[in-house]
Structure 1
Amino acid sequence: MKKFINLFLAVILMVILLLCTLLTLSVYLKWPMMVSGYSSLFATQFNSRFILLALVLCITAFLFFKKQDTGRKIWKFNLILGILFLAGQLIFMLIMLRTASKYDAEISLIPSLKGLEKPVKPTETHHYLTIYGEKQLFDVYRPKNPSGKPTIPVVLVHGGAFIEGKRDQLGYAANWFTQRGYTSFGIEYPLAKKDRQTYESAVNSIVTCMSYIRKHAQEFNIDPSKMILVGGSAGGSLVMQADLGLRDGFAHSYDGSQVAPPAAVIALYPPVSLSDLYQKLREGKTVDLYDPMNKYLGGSPVQFPARFKQLNLIDHLSGGISPTLILTGEIDHVVNVEAIRDFVNKSKEMKLPVSYMEVPYGEHVYDGNPNSIAGQMTWAEIRHFLKRNRLTAE
């Protein structure tokens, strides 16, 4: 019976280690697409935990190998797999730390073992627009230790492929900003459906919300001239659309006000060209996004070339751009990273104030755990960006 239990444990551990090792290998091979994507996503968010797990499994395999006579070959194989798993995760951590050093980001390993923080609760909620018969709301997150002076407003725009998501989705971002003296606004906007395309109304609603917040600047105790737009994924595209659209004339406020562009824009893994993304989709190089793109834009680039051209943001750079920070992962299978690189390179050629950080092996929402090394790196770069543009509240 004891021998049977020993063999059973050896086989179970072998299956676990084989799976962990193969998934780690897929990260470096960047193949197959879906497996490597999920593997990279978990590695960037929980790399420190995986190292601890690998250590525990290695020690377990070593002790059984030394003390057991039954199944020694399996335990030896397990030890080899454990070492490979550990080595793969350690190399991944070294790559992350080297990248952090490149961007001058101070990293602490202890916090990287933590999970997500509990999102801060909003202090109040406001109604800024009614469209399609639906009220559009935003939550206000006031600073934890207000000084009495007008604060810098941060407008947080959620992602969700333009068809889903909630205004409190960026709760961890609200935590970060309110802890540093900013006033944050988590906003919602009309989501696309089969019977309504929101490629115009979504960005116009965001501009309308900007107008509303600025008109009530005294009530919110903010400096309206320093408004920062922050968005992730679809939200990242929308905050860039708001800035470029106000400059190039394709975005406006529904209240008829003349709205000034934001003081700065922070966009995490934004789709900057939906026509390029559609082509990648046809080539099978991204996840299936036909449904959200058809709902948001109504169809394909062949059917609606003008709509897709409006959302090819590189074509709107001639009107200028607010200081913009773009952050993305190297292997993002949801947005087109090549299009983002083209946008950044074109901006640099035009000497526009666009900063860029690309996380090695990073998948979409690579920063889902802000305490991870990749998450700390991201927020350190955001802090550097705000400091460079004199938009710090600390």
Structure 2
Amino acid sequence: MRLKLFIALIIGTLFSTQMCNSQEEILYKKVDTTHLFLEVHYPPNMDSSKNYPAMVFFFGGGWVGGKRSQFLNQAKYFARRGMVCFLADYRTSKINGTTPFESLKDAKSAVRFIRKNAKIFHIDSTRIIASGGSAGGHLAAATAFIEGYNDSADDTSINSIPNALVLFNPVVDNGPGGYGYERIGDAYKDFSPLHNIKKGAPPTIIFQGTKDHLIPVVTAEYFKMVMEKVESRCDLKLYEGEGHGFFNYANQKAYKSTVAEADQFLVSLGYLMKEPIINID
């Protein structure tokens, strides 16, 4: 009831002229004493009579730590391009004493919350993009491929599957030899995105450094091959000599390149207008 009341209270102000150039922090989930928020970035001069694509970002950090601000600059850019962008909190072992399984439950809850409240956010519920880096890339991909690990408090009649994926050196293989297997064990069979690709998988773009010491290029290449076997699009962009986390804002060249490539991918899906890319900063 508290969550519903909170949403109702923001309806009247969320999309006023004054709010269209700003951001909001919205509670999307409460677990015991833990409060999880979405930081929302809106397009400038937002027209409340229109529905916009949405993009939700999940930070990296091995499901151990990290901050939602990792993708702040990407969110600001795509908001300027005409998307409603969300930076999502989720539980991690360092802060909350949780496992990767709780992290996935939260990611799926976040997508459901966004889709459930599509009218409030003025977004098109059929154009929701999940994005993330490293373990956050796993969470984004897993919302699309993993059927289980749904929070018992979620309304599972609301689809948690995004309509497209933008993944930055994502953890997609949790099997033996893959990332995180020592914590996940045999549960990888229904937790690892690579092992659960099926027909109807959403179009995907992956950004991968060739010198990544955590995610081998061959893993990304195999993921692409399996996606194409089920007739789903998977663009793989390799960055020569780049290591893990190369896409972050501190690496300006790679940051701008990956954002530009993601922009064109979303243009090709019809999620963004075909217009010159605005300055990436």
The TM-score with structure 1 as length reference comes to 0.59
Distance 1:122 1:198, change over 3 A: farther
Q: Which residue of the other structure, out of 208, 212, 236, is the alignment partner of 2:137? A: 236
Q: Aligned equivalents of 1:190 and 1:356: distance in 2?
A: 29
User: What aligned pairs does 1:69-84 form with structure 2 within 5 A after superposition?
Assistant: none
> Kindly, what percent of the aligned residue pairs are identical?
24
Deviation at 1:276, TM superposition (A): 4.6
Equivalences, count: 251
Map Cα deviations across residues 164-208 of structure 1 (whole Å, 9 max, x no partner).
111222111112111111111111011125994423221121111
1:360 aligns with 2:260: no
User: Greater helix percent: which structure?
Assistant: 1
1:124 aligns with 2:24: yes
Map Cα deviations across residues 256-307 of structure 1 (whole Å, 9 max, x no partner).
232332111111000111235558xxxxxxxxxxxxx4xxx7x456xx32x2
Q: Aligned equivalents of 1:194 and 1:140: distance in 2?
A: 22
Q: Which residue of the other structure, out of 256, 267, 277, is the alignment partner of 1:387? A: 267
Distance 1:194 1:379, change over 3 A: closer
Gapped regions of structure 2 (runs ≥ 5): 1-20, 276-281
Q: Aligned equivalents of 2:36 and 2:95: distance in 1?
A: 19
User: Greater strand percent: which structure?
Assistant: 2
RMSD: 2.4
Q: 2:148 corresponds to which residue?
A: 250
Q: 1:226 corresponds to which residue?
A: 127
The structure 1 segments of at least 4 consecutive aligned residues displaced by more than 4 Å after TM superposition are: 193-197, 276-279
Map Cα deviations across residues 355-378 of structure 1 (whole Å, 9 max, x no partner).
111111111121224774433321
Distance 1:131 1:392, change over 3 A: same
Gapped regions of structure 1 (runs ≥ 5): 1-120, 280-292
Distance 1:145 1:370, change over 3 A: farther
Name which one, 1 or 2, has greater alpha-carbon Rg.
Answer: 1
Q: 2:111 corresponds to which residue?
A: 210
Contact 2:55 2:83 in 1 (8 A): yes
The TM-score with structure 2 as length reference comes to 0.81
Q: Aligned equivalents of 2:96 and 2:119: distance in 1?
A: 39
Q: Aligned equivalents of 1:126 and 1:319: distance in 2?
A: 34
Q: 1:201 corresponds to which residue?
A: 102
Deviation at 1:240, TM superposition (A): 0.2
Q: Aligned equivalents of 1:228 and 1:134: distance in 2?
A: 26
User: What aligned pairs does 1:298-317 form with structure 2 within 5 A after superposition?
Assistant: 299=182, 304-305=185-186, 307-317=187-197
Q: Aligned equivalents of 1:277 and 1:381: distance in 2?
A: 30
Map Cα deviations across residues 317-348 of structure 1 (whole Å, 9 max, x no partner).
12531111111101101223322211112222
Distance 1:388 1:191, change over 3 A: same
Map Cα deviations across residues 71-98 of structure 1 (whole Å, 9 max, x no partner).
xxxxxxxxxxxxxxxxxxxxxxxxxxxx
Q: Which residue of the other structure, out of 137, 155, 159, is the alignment partner of 2:56? A: 155
